[in-house]
């Protein structure tokens, strides 16, 4: 049989190359939406490779499961977003202002999580990784399963009640809580694999988690709208935005995602995304159950999206119209002379000659223009944004260099005295801002 590389894989490769290239040229929509373009092109390309290798793939042969996986991917990831409202381990910067665009971006990005992990797992399996892996068979007791459930509950509870010390347990809690239930109720179970001495799926998931974790951090690092970590104890040594030790969380997260999705499958008559699950019961889910599930999911999406906007989003993409330090007359004048946004203002005033020419065209003192530039640079630094710039200015910080000169404890005290109590940034954020300011100043000197 002649092997065929499907068209959606070709499209995926083209979109990945184009989006990567045009992103660095800051051409829309690839500049703002780079992360989403990168992940969906990766998923389509990988799916095509899987079909080429074994003649069966999720998108081409199990399309209904693929489409159903997307909303469940959003739902499952939002569980972790909800826990982050307590943990405070990451925050978002430079997100779009329009609500519809922002929420659409959340949905498109979060919808990639399960497809990315499971397509990567299936690709590794198709390539023959861990095919003949064997371990000693284990025997499971009801006491052991109960202990796992109790440990799962402990992990989830402690991560929320003692987030500063137990935050990492959130990435294993659902494994211990739900996997025994999958096993007991006859679902797809990794414990049953271990019972048979077949750890291959576990190894595949661990490897897929590491691969996807690397790509998550790589593509996030270069994105305009992105997340930044404030993980306790591990803030200094980073690979991209992730503390190096944090990469160890991606492999168990892959297993956790698999376990959670298998738990969902218990309520779908064992139907799932894997090729081996196609022989599951063909019994139809009742329309009332579908309607109720849809309502619950959409309500959960709206609730958590709103809380993300309120608590996890730290800054919106700075716009020229938001530059409160520039008089209104000049805000209207700048676009007429080719300065469309704050990035333009910075890129077109790097040289002394450029600054002098712009000040002359606007008929303003060069010192006033330098003040505009200082604030624009500060707003753009590590996604500080307009609202945080206001807070920093209230504490007497008006430029990147003045931020770089600050001591963390002193800055925190200044912010406490000058800012509303509910707007004081986390100490971890202040540390990131100071570090980035010093890095920028030392790079320019």
Calpha distance 340→158 (Å, rounded): 49
**Whether 136 contacts 64, CB under 8 Å:** no
Q: What is the CA radius of gyration of the chain?
A: 25
Whole-number percent of the chain with pLDDT over 90: 86
Tokens read off for 106 = 């959340």
Are 298 and 347 in the same domain?
no
Domain final residue, candidates 312, 336, 352: 312
Burial class for 292, CB neighbours closer than 10 Å (0-12, 13-18, 19+): exposed
Are 265 and 307 in the same domain?
yes
**421 is a domain residue:** yes
**Whether 35 contacts 226, CB under 8 Å:** yes
Are 211 and 77 in the same domain?
yes
Contacts of 290 (CB under 8 A, 6+ apart): none
112-160 residue pLDDT tens: 999 999 999 999 999 999 998 999 999 999 999 999 999 999 999 999 9
Are 284 and 365 in the same domain?
no
Are 88 and 140 in the same domain?
yes
Calpha distance 328→364 (Å, rounded): 14
179-205 residue pLDDT tens: 999 999 999 999 999 999 999 999 999
Domain final residue, candidates 285, 312, 339: 312
**34 is a domain residue:** no
What's the pLDDT score for residue 159? 97
What's the pLDDT score for residue 442? 92
Are 211 and 251 in the same domain?
yes
DSSP character for 365?
A: -
**35 is a domain residue:** no
Are 167 and 184 in the same domain?
yes
315 backbone φψ class: left, alpha, beta (φ>0; ψ -120 to 50)? beta
Contacts of 424 (CB under 8 A, 6+ apart): 412, 415, 416
What's the pLDDT score for residue 233? 75
220-246 residue pLDDT tens: 999 999 999 998 776 667 787 888 888
What's the pLDDT score for residue 19? 94
Burial 113-123 (b: 16+ CB within 10 A, else e): bbbbbbbbbbb
Are 343 and 217 in the same domain?
no
If you average pLDDT over every residue of the chain, what do you get?
94
What's the pLDDT score for residue 37? 96
**What value does the mean pLDDT take over residues 198-213?**
97
Domain final residue, candidates 280, 312, 344: 312
CA dihedral 86, 89, 94, 97 (to 10 degrees): -20
**24 is a domain residue:** no
Provide the domain count of the chain.
Answer: 2
**21 is a domain residue:** no
**9 is a domain residue:** no
Whole-number percent of the chain with pLDDT over 70: 97
Residue 444 has pLDDT above 80, yes or no: no
277-308 residue pLDDT tens: 655 566 777 889 899 999 999 999 999 999 99
**242 is a domain residue:** yes
Please identify which residue in the block is written with the tokens 């003040």. 371
Q: Which helix (H) or strand (E) holds 239?
A: strand 238-239
Give the range of the structural domain holding residue 417, as residue numbers without chain letter: 320-444
To 10 degrees, what angle do helices 99-110 and 34-54 make?
30
Tokens read off for 309 = 């906007």
Side-chain-side CA neighbours of 124 within 13 Å: the count stands at 20
Are 90 and 200 in the same domain?
yes
Are 295 and 232 in the same domain?
yes
**47 is a domain residue:** no
319-370 residue pLDDT tens: 999 999 999 999 999 999 999 999 999 999 999 999 999 999 999 999 999 9
Are 303 and 261 in the same domain?
yes
Are 294 and 344 in the same domain?
no
């Amino acid at each position: 049989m002649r092997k065929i590389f499907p068209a959606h894989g070709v499209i995926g490769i083209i979109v990945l190359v184009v989006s990567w290239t045009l992103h660095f040229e800051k051409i829309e929509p690839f500049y703002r939406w780079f992360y989403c373009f990168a992940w969906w092109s990766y998923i389509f390309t990988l799916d095509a490779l899987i079909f080429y290798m074994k003649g069966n793939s999720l998108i081409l042969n199990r399309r209904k499961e693929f489409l159903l996986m997307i909303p469940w991917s959003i739902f499952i990831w939002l569980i972790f977003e909800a826990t982050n409202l307590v943990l405070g381990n990451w925050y978002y910067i430079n997100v779009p202002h329009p609500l519809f665009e922002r929420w659409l971006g959340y949905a498109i990005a979060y919808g990639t999580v399960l497809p990315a992990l499971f397509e990567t797992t299936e690709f590794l399996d198709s390539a023959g990784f861990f095919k003949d892996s064997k371990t000693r068979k284990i025997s499971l007791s009801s006491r052991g399963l109960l202990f796992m459930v109790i440990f799962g509950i402990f992990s989830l509870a402690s991560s929320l009640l003692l987030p500063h010390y137990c935050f990492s347990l959130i990435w294993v809690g659902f494994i211990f809580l739900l996997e025994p239930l999958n096993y007991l109720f006859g679902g797809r179970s990794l414990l049953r694999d271990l019972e048979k001495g077949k750890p291959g799926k576990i190894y595949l998931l661990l490897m897929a988690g590491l691969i996807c974790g690397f790509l998550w951090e790589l593509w996030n690092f270069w994105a305009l709208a992105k997340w930044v970590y404030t993980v306790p104890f591990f803030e200094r040594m980073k690979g991209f935005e992730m503390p190096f030790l944090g990469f160890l969380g991606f492999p168990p997260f892959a297993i956790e995602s698999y376990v959670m999705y298998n738990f969902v499958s218990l309520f779908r008559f064992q139907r799932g995304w894997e090729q081996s699950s196609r022989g599951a019961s063909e019994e139809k889910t009742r329309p009332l159950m579908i309607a109720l599930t849809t309502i619950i999911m959409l309500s959960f999406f709206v609730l958590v999206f709103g809380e993300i906007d309120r608590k996890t989003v730290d800054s919106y993409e700075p716009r020229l119209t938001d530059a409160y330090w520039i008089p209104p007359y000049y805000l209207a004048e700048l676009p007429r002379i080719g300065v469309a946004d704050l990035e333009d203002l910075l890129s077109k005033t790097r040289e002394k000659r450029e600054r002098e020419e712009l000040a002359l065209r606007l008929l303003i003192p060069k010192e006033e223009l330098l003040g505009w530039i200082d604030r624009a640079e500060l707003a753009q630094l590590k996604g500080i944004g307009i609202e945080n710039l206001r807070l920093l200015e209230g504490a007497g910080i008006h430029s990147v260099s003045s931020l770089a000169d600050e001591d963390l404890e002193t800055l925190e005290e200044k912010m406490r005295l000058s800012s509303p109590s509910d707007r004081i940034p986390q100490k971890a954020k202040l540390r990131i801002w100071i570090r980035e300011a010093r890095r920028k100043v030392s790079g320019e000197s």
